[in-house]
Structures are given as structure tokens and as C-alpha cells.
Amino acid sequence: MAKIDKQGTRTERLFATILLLQNRPHLTSRDLAEHFNVSRRTTFRDLRALSDSGVPLTYSEGGGYEILDGYQLPPLMLTAREAATLIVGTAFMKLQSDASLRSDADAVSLKIRTVLPREIREYVDRLSENTVLDPYWMHAVQAEGAETGIWYKLSEAVARSRKVIMEYFVESRSEVTKRSVDPLGLVYYEDHWNLIAFDHLRETIRNFRLDRIEEMFVLSEKFERPKGFELQAYLEEDGMRPSVETIVLEFSEHAYARARTTIPAKIDKEEKKDDSVRVTFRFDNLEYLTSWLLRFGNAVRVEEPQTLREMHKQAALQIAHQY
């Protein structure tokens, strides 16, 4: 369960204490102090404040504090589908490599679950137990992810239009560069977060991967967003992709019914033939596309570009040679 930052407000800690005791009764003052990273004296003051405000706290015979049955925070007015959407959304955030995002996602899940009506809470619990988002990725990020807080810092910089100075690792040159940028938006793309920002070094809008930012500072100085700039429109013009290829594939009609929902880009053109479909889109990662194409076997043929056609052919031959 996520720990609360010692610097958090007392109100946040009091609210979190209620949620914690409703979900995990019989916690001792020592348990609470350790969970919130505060002294036991502070914990006793918090418990007294809750009791004075009308929260029915009691000390159980078996040891530890609990809140008497019947006390409830006002339930959220959510339908089962709305609650499920929130739970799946927080599950996605728990897959992030930044441990601070995962920690806060745990806290959000706890709050949502606690204030839901019983019937919807049981529905959400059953859904959570039977919904998994990429378990292999989850093990990887939990093993390697550090608590950087970069996403939060950049989200504030984007929302408040604050300039940022950062040290950024350029993989192609294997060197760290210092950048002054105006953060314009955050985008999750190809399993990682990206910062879209105006780069004062290059004097143009660039894409920066968050996992390559080694150090950063949000300045108090504000900036003016480029006139007429819209993040979605920028992305649709291939702002995420420095070298986009035009991809033309021909699928059997049956295979395309499966492929259409997993094509990793916006479809530009579809042409239906007698028993096949010719599809055109733009994409930059040919290695990923080669792997993706193999799942369709001989039900797909690469028409363009030639580079992808050769990569697809070689990948298929390598598999054939294994047998």
C-alpha cells in the first residue's frame, strides 16, 4: 500500500487514515506512524482530531484501532461501468516505470474503492481480480523503476506554462546535453511517456522521452505557447515520428478483420478487393512492425516500403530455418 509523503498536508493524512482503518482495521499507533512516516505523537494527535470531528474510533480488544461499523464517507455517485473505467485506468498507471506514479495509483484505487456503494465495490473487486494488464511488463517496471517524480514535475510545468531546464541523454550520440525547453504536452506512446516541447537549442518543437531525462528543474519563468498550437493536431501531423514511412499492406479479408483493430497507427486508406484488403498508413518503427506482421502468417503481404518487405522476408526465413 502506498505511503503518504511526510510533507503532505495534515488534512490529506487524516482523510487517508480513515480510508486505511476502514480497509485494514486493528492497526496500532506504531503501524500508523510507520505507514505515514510520522512520529507516534503526531499519530495520537491525528486520532484525537478524528475523534473530535465525529469519526467513531475505538480501540479493539484484540489490539489496534478501528472505525465502528456504519460510518461511511459519502459514496461516489458512479455507475458500475464508470467505476470499472477508473479502476482500469489506475491499473494502467500502476504499470508506469516511475514508482511515484505507481504509488499514487495505489492510493487512488484505495480511495475509489472505499467510497463506492457495497454492490458496486464488490463488482469492481471481482473485475480487478480478473483483469491483468501486461504482467511481464509489470514485473519489469517494478524491478527497475525508481521514484523520479519527473512526470509530476512536467505535468505541472505543462499546466502552468513554466520553462524547464534539463539534462537529456541523446541515445544516437551517447551523450548528455543541456536543454532549455517550453513544455507543451505529455504523450504516452510506444510504452513510454514523451514530452512535447519547444527546444530552444534547436529552435523547434521536439519530442523528448521522459526515461532519458537525467535531471530537470521547473523554473518560475513562464512562456507563451506557440500561437495556434494544438497538441492533437501536432501529433496527427507525425509530430511523434522523426522519420515516418508510408506502409502499404495487403491482407486476406479474414485476416484484416483481426488486424484492423491492432494496426499501430491511423489508417490513411483502405481499398477492398475481391477477397483481400489493401491498407495504407504511416509508421516509423519498422522493427516493431516486422514483429507485428508475423502473427498473420501468409495472410499478409508487404507492398511498401521495400525495406519492410525485406525485413519481413528475413524474419519469416529465420523462423522457417528453426524447423
The predicted-structure confidence for 102-121, as pLDDT tens digits, reads as follows 788 888 888 887 777 787 88
The candidate with the shortest Cα–Cα distance to 59, out of 25, 24, 18, is 25
Is the CA virtual torsion 89, 132, 96, 236 positive or negative? negative
Residue 137 is predicted with a pLDDT of 47
Q: What domains are there in the chain, each with its CATH number?
A: 10-67 (1.10.10.10), 80-144 (no CATH), 150-236 (2.30.30), 245-321 (3.30.70)
Q: In this structure, are strands 276-283 and 192-199 parallel, antiparallel, or unpaired?
A: unpaired
* Spatial separation of the C-alpha atoms in residues 243 and 130, rounded to whole Å: 40
* Spatial separation of the C-alpha atoms in residues 34 and 259, rounded to whole Å: 51
* Spatial separation of the C-alpha atoms in residues 215 and 232, rounded to whole Å: 27
Cα angle at 71 between 69 and 76, to 5 degrees? 125
The 10 Å Cβ neighbour count of residue 248 is 19
Residue 136 is predicted with a pLDDT of 47
Residue 220 is predicted with a pLDDT of 92
Residues of the chain with pLDDT under 50: 1-8, 136-145, 147
* Cβ pair 181, 197 in contact under 8 A: yes
**DSSP structure string for 213-238:** EEEEEEEEEE-PPPTT--HHHHHHTT
* Spatial separation of the C-alpha atoms in residues 266 and 299, rounded to whole Å: 21
The residues that bridge with 204 in the sheet, in sequence order, are: 199
The candidate with the shortest Cα–Cα distance to 216, out of 183, 186, 239, 185, is 183
* Cβ pair 109, 90 in contact under 8 A: yes
Residue 63 is predicted with a pLDDT of 83
Each residue's pLDDT tens digit, 70-101? 776 655 567 777 777 777 778 777 777 677 77
* Cβ pair 194, 209 in contact under 8 A: yes
- Enter the C-alpha cell of residue 254: 479474414
Q: Is the pTM of this model over 0.95?
A: no
* Spatial separation of the C-alpha atoms in residues 105 and 96, rounded to whole Å: 10
* Spatial separation of the C-alpha atoms in residues 101 and 57, rounded to whole Å: 31
Residue 16 is predicted with a pLDDT of 83
